[in-house]
A and B are shown apart, each in its own frame.
Chain A
């Protein structure tokens, strides 16, 4: 039986390459796993029917989309279930409950995710919309950090950026609908402009993924997939409502979609409004300066977010083209009593009058995106083309403060707005073309990606010069299926890039050593060319109960404009940040392994990794102060050092009973600099070891629903004593989170309810990788999150 299944899988895999449709295969059984023959299966809203054969098997051949399988069989309860076809074979096990038994609804188990994992030598995790709904955090990255090996660098309650196994910023690529998301990745205080309600499926790649995603994917990639197409002849909507107690968040996300046969549209609007967040403390100490918190609120951490998405396109058997238009906007305050590390006196009465207003300092970001994705199927080829335009516009507002030699009174003659501290305006044009060919036992992928960036700056504070960037890369990736158990992978990639930095002169005069005054030239024009060759080899070995994968590869990253051209004071850190014009592209060698056991009630997975950088680029705090360019601040200079990193994740899951599961997710990370000024030290933002223990109870039937769950998370995070200037040691802590949810019926509509109680005991703790860690700001206290989701179907059956 298993062999037949295996054979089936390999057949489907090949088929998938030649046609736009994918098999939905399954087996119908009774309670005792006995196959049921002659069962009638229907796909609602379509003309598709199937009848199970003598072994209980059935099959559909479907194009991408969302379907509802309905089963009607005499002597058994009727049941319906949702299934999503998305470019892969889907396998179902349908267990029917006889009338005489307790009601036991059909369970559908999709193995598409498992198959994908078994055919990928990189360490991949797939997360679906239901995971996001259950674990909804302040931002998408915040939600994903429940997964082992994923952490975030956060600021406030609504912004965070990903850290994969301790690497973040420009070492992690975020891909949105096939195109690399380009914001201001370098800043610890900059979040990621992604609407988590629009993310249906997110793929996380831990470890170097350079050969597909291009330079920068040294630490890994987060691939936010394009939403699955609505099913043919469907017309419906989704309404989400969200509320959070800690920061008084309320929000909604509404989706409306329709598809005829070949034309469709899918739209979404998201709005969130939140106030200042609460911490379990009434007084904080920014340095020694005591800051009294009004009713435990962190002053001025409120925010607003909107997201608008519109997808539309044409889908046929052999050709598909889809346009994705989106705009995400956010405005959020910085903690008022400190701007970065700088303690500030504030008008407490003004700030405390309302917990929802956003006063100075604050940031405002708008990210616009237009993407077109097309694919053609031609005989042995599957061609894909993605074209994208992005515009990221970030502004940071603050009262004018005359730092260093800036004039005490802001001159009226300057045409930079008096409150505009920094502005970054980025426009990106990108394309990605690839062809996937099936050649016997080989599946060969070749592709090219290119990107054109134009960056302009504004504001009275200078950190990074304006720049233009051009990059072009080509890759080839072969997947060779040696036999049913063994898959080999090999990939190569070549990149060329050009970076042009533009000169910048201060708008104010500084005092020179001789006592005269002059406008300082902080950046000169600079043009650098880079090229790089990277490779990767991998293997998958899959047995019935055992999976092994290994991947070794080289990856690289070109230095960013800030690393080459920074030359200004970052008053967020009291640091004079100095770029290094001669930096080389960063190189990295990484080996990843994964061993998974799957025996009956147990599943266990161990994923260690080892990573070596001959030249890791980092901002090195030196012992000297700079009087001239740095206005007396400590010099932080970009430098290169040899770095060793290793660590891994462990996941163990045990099914105690059909309703009860226990799970442990643990992670460990170690990094050490082997050369340079900070030899023996770790890297900045090294997340401490942590373990998450979970117990989930999912009753078969509760209040008429089979979708109820109760889940308790207990996370222990160890102390972090491995630090590097300017970090501080962070104490360990433990947290409890509780999640519960169910599905109820409101008339003919199902209503999904999810609730979470985060930080149950209102524990005061510091997050080592938070932007506000250095001034000792505690993380959010107790938070109750409530989220409702109601789908509507306007097509009458």
Chain B
């Protein structure tokens, strides 16, 4: 019977296509992590003094290999907020920026590292505006997965 043959042909094609689905070798789908607990700095609501230096410290890790890390410190006088943390540290009133502190810096991580403790000195000029700031950390792994951590800090 013709219909029967056709049905078999149909099934065969389906089977052939589903057989194509081979399990490819493990691919990395895990995001890297930024750990500021313990000795990490700054932490949510940390206080930083103008005209002084501080050490940016974080434990970075990934399941395969770390990529690079970048920090971005900018003012939040307008309360625009891109904090990824829950509490807001009691924002001061909205104000106009005059000479806000701005720092954008990226740090390569040595090749082949699964974990890396970063410690970098950052100096804050004495003449910048005091107030609410964001400290944004961006971390990638070798594959291109990126984790963001946005922290609210105060500079005074």
Contacts and interface: CB of A to CB of B under 8 A. Distances in A.
B27 A681 contact: yes
B154 interface: no
A402 interface: yes
B83 interface: yes
Given A597-B6, A632-B106, A623 B140 contact: yes
B45 to A, nearest CB: 15
Contacts of B70: 625, 627, 632-634
A646 B97 contact: no
Contacts of B80: 344-345, 399, 401
A648 B20 CA distance: 12
Interface string A614-653: 0000001111111100011110000000000010101000
Contacts of B97: 408-409
Contact of B13 (A608, A632, A729): A608
Interface in B78-102: 78-86, 88, 96-98, 100, 102
Contacts of A625: 68-70, 106, 138, 140
B111 to A, nearest CB: 10
Interface string A401-416: 1101100110000000
Nearest to A723: B29
B44 to A, nearest CB: 10
Nearest to A626: B106
A619 to B, nearest CB: 10
Nearest to A624: B68
Contacts of B29: 721, 723, 729
A402 B21 CA distance: 48
Interface residues of B, number: 53
B86 A288 contact: yes
B144 A287 contact: no
Contacts of B7: 597
Given A408-B100, A632-B105, A632-B106, A574 B146 contact: yes
A677 B140 CA distance: 15
Interface in B54-92: 67-72, 74-75, 77-86, 88
B103 to A, nearest CB: 9
B52 interface: no
B123 interface: no
A481 to B, nearest CB: 23
A740 to B, nearest CB: 34
Given A289-B86, A624-B68, A597 B146 contact: no
B86 A595 contact: no
A342 interface: yes
B104 to A, nearest CB: 4
Contacts of A599: 3
B67 A624 contact: yes
B10 interface: yes
A65 interface: no
A623 B24 contact: no
B6 A546 contact: yes
A343 interface: yes
Interface string A280-304: 0000000111100000000000000
Contacts of A608: 13, 17
Nearest to B21: A670
Given A631-B72, A725-B144, A646 B20 contact: yes
A658 interface: no
Interface string B98-135: 10101011101000000000000000000000000000
Interface residues of A, number: 52
B146 A343 contact: no
Contact of A595 (B13, B68, B75, B96): B13
A401 B150 CA distance: 16
Interface string A477-511: 00000000000000000000000000000000001
A623 B81 contact: no
A625 B106 CA distance: 6
A274 B59 CA distance: 47
A342 B2 CA distance: 60
B68 A606 contact: no
A344 B84 CA distance: 10
Nearest to A286: B84
B17 A623 contact: no
Contacts of B144: 620-623, 634, 677-678, 725-726
B66 to A, nearest CB: 8
Contacts of A595: 6, 9-10, 13
A624 B81 contact: no
A653 B107 CA distance: 59
A716 B67 CA distance: 38
B143 interface: yes
B14 interface: yes
Contacts of A418: none
Contacts of A290: 86
Nearest to B3: A599
A343 B10 contact: no
Contacts of B78: 399, 401
A83 interface: no
Interface string A674-700: 000110110000000000000000000
A187 to B, nearest CB: 20
Contact of A343 (B69, B106, B150): B150
A289 B96 contact: no
A606 B10 contact: yes
A545 B3 contact: yes
Contact of B82 (A342, A597, A680): A342
B85 A289 contact: yes
A625 B67 CA distance: 9
B104 A343 contact: no
B138 A343 contact: no
Given A343-B150, A621-B144, A289 B83 contact: yes
A672 interface: yes
Contact of A680 (B2, B21, B24, B104): B24
A723 to B, nearest CB: 6
A604 interface: yes
A680 B23 CA distance: 10
B35 to A, nearest CB: 14
Contacts of B41: none
B87 to A, nearest CB: 10
A402 B143 contact: no
Contacts of A342: 82
Interface in A493-547: 511, 545-546
B86 A624 contact: no
Contacts of B36: none
A343 B84 contact: yes
Given A288-B84, A627-B105, A574 B148 contact: yes
A479 B25 CA distance: 45
Contacts of A606: 10, 13-14
B50 interface: no
19 contacts: A287-B150, A342-B82, A343-B84, A344-B81, A345-B79, A402-B74, A405-B102, A511-B104, A574-B148, A606-B13, A608-B17, A621-B140, A623-B142, A625-B70, A625-B106, A627-B104, A631-B104, A670-B20, A726-B144
Interface of B: 2-3, 6-7, 9-10, 13-14, 17, 20-21, 24-25, 27, 29, 67-72, 74-75, 77-86, 88, 96-98, 100, 102, 104-106, 108, 138, 140-146, 148, 150
